[in-house]
Amino acid sequence: MASVYGLCKRVYTVLYPPAPTDPSSTPLKFGILGAAAIAPIAIVRPVKNHPDAVLYGVAARDETRAAAFAKKWGVVKTYGSYQELLDDPEIDVVYNPLPNGLHYEWTMKALAAGKHVLLEKPSADTAEETRKMFAFAEKKGLVLLEAFHYRFHPATQRVKEIVDSGELGQIKSIESSLTIPSGLLKDDDIRLSYNLGGGAMMDMGCYTLSMTRYLAGADPVKILSASADTSSKFPRIDIGTSAKLAFSSQTPDDDSQITATIHANFRLPARGPFGLIPAMPKMNVRAVGTEGEVKTYGKEGNSKGKTRTEKRYGEKGNGSWTTYRYQLEAFIDKVRGRTPQHWFDAADSIANIEWIGRIYEETGLGIRPASEAEVPSA
């Protein structure tokens, strides 16, 4: 009963985050590019709870969309084009939740305008674009972060701690999957557009790969296999991708490899007789060592031997801080010149998109198209 109450309380606090009690008189002003579906959870609510941030602007291709968004979420100013927002000297930080294929163009333009950028995942369509964005940010002395929010949460960090502690023995395999049920995406969803950088490996596989690389503490050494499911309607889009990767063992004196499987799918079929049991979105990570295993997100299985369940909601906000709120805290610390509790750098983002590209090549679908937009040069 107590935990049901706790859950309801956490959900309520996530949806209605309390205003900070000690707001800054000179907060960072955030601008959002596009009235994106993800913006309320990923940036609007976290900003409302941060003492050093305000939601200043939102731009949309059609200003009425920006106006509707601003009214609903309490944003101060609206713009009828992304460039107008970037040209506003009041804006300090840009949140870029545009379709993947537009990440590079608008991040380069935002950096050129002198804004720090919190950039949605995956960083861009190609590794070359990601390299250029980070090089430009560094040259300009601006903060650029790919929004892998999960990394900032204490639960993720605890899993990493368990893996690194050695209590599981030598890690032999890592499995990571992120899947959503069939029927969730409409045909015009950005995730189903090749030109906008869509595909399951881009959209969800980027997390599974990132998490696997994080737990392995290294990049893969080889792709052992990779395959993609497609559909006749979207022949260049992977509805699902599965890949098997080899990592070098991180344990000294162990020359065996870690085998990792990653799995991303947009169309998990319903189950049971006549498909009557609807599938649920699933996020699962499991690292198996010679002495034990750790699972995240999934339910306890019928494991033999000793098992324990650890919960890590984090201490902040009485356990109500989301991954996005933790991410925002770190991002603002970085912008303000403080040391964030966790960070990951350009090399990490570059390696992730490089391996996404390699996996796409291996499936035969090829990497997503590079941007043809004219952008400011680094």
Ligand X SMILES: NC(=O)C1=CN([C@@H]2O[C@H](COP(=O)(O)OP(=O)(O)OC[C@H]3O[C@@H](n4cnc5c(N)ncnc54)[C@H](OP(=O)(O)O)[C@@H]3O)[C@@H](O)[C@H]2O)C=CC1
175-214 residues in contact with ligand LJPVP2WV (CB under 6 A) are 180, 191, 203-204
For the record, the structure tokens of 244 come out as 């098997």
Q: Which stretch binds ligand X (CB under 6 A): 19-27, 33-41, 258-266, 308-316?
A: 33-41
Q: How far is the CB of 189 from ligand LJPVP2WV (least distance, A)?
A: 9
Look at residue 34 and give the partner it binds from ligand X, ligand LJPVP2WV, none, a contact being a CB closer than 5 to 8 Å depending on partner kind. ligand X
The CA-atom distances, in angstroms, between 360 and each of 176, 345, 355 are 17, 23, 8
263-322 residues in contact with ligand X (CB under 6 A) are none
Residue number, 36 or 201, with CB nearest to ligand X? 36
Q: How far is the CB of 206 from ligand LJPVP2WV (least distance, A)?
A: 8
Sign of CA pseudo-dihedral 112, 125, 118, 218? negative
> Considering CB under 6 A, how many residues would be counted as binding ligand LJPVP2WV?
4
Residue number, 277 or 373, with CB nearest to ligand X? 373
Q: Which stretch binds ligand X (CB under 6 A): 43-51, 96-104, 214-222, 364-372?
A: 96-104
Query: Nearest to residue 372, comparing CAs of 129, 191, 122?
Result: 129
Measured in Å, how far apart are the chain's first and last C-alpha atoms? 56
Rounded CA-CA distance 48/41 in Å is 11
Residue 61 is a binding residue for ligand X (CB under 6 A):
yes
Rounded CA-CA distance 132/375 in Å is 11
Judged by CB under 6 A, which of 65, 140, 316, 342 binds ligand X? Answer: 65
For the record, the structure tokens of 99 come out as 């379709």
> Considering CB under 6 A, how many residues would be counted as binding ligand X?
21
To the query of whether residue 121 is one of the catalytic residues in this protein, the response is yes
Residue number, 39 or 288, with CB nearest to ligand LJPVP2WV? 39
106 Cβ contact list (under 8 Å, min separation 6):
33, 82, 94, 96, 98
Q: Which stretch binds ligand X (CB under 6 A): 14-22, 59-67, 248-256, 366-374?
A: 59-67
Residue number, 186 or 304, with CB nearest to ligand X? 186
Q: Which stretch binds ligand X (CB under 6 A): 29-37, 287-295, 345-353, 356-364?
A: 29-37
Rounded CA-CA distance 323/328 in Å is 9
Paired residues of 277 in beta bridges: 271
Q: How far is the CB of 205 from ligand LJPVP2WV (least distance, A)?
A: 10
Residues that bind ligand X (CB under 6 A): 34-38, 42, 60-61, 65, 97-100, 102, 120-121, 147, 149, 190, 196, 203
Residues that bind ligand LJPVP2WV (CB under 6 A): 180, 191, 203-204
> Which residues are part of the catalytic machinery?
121
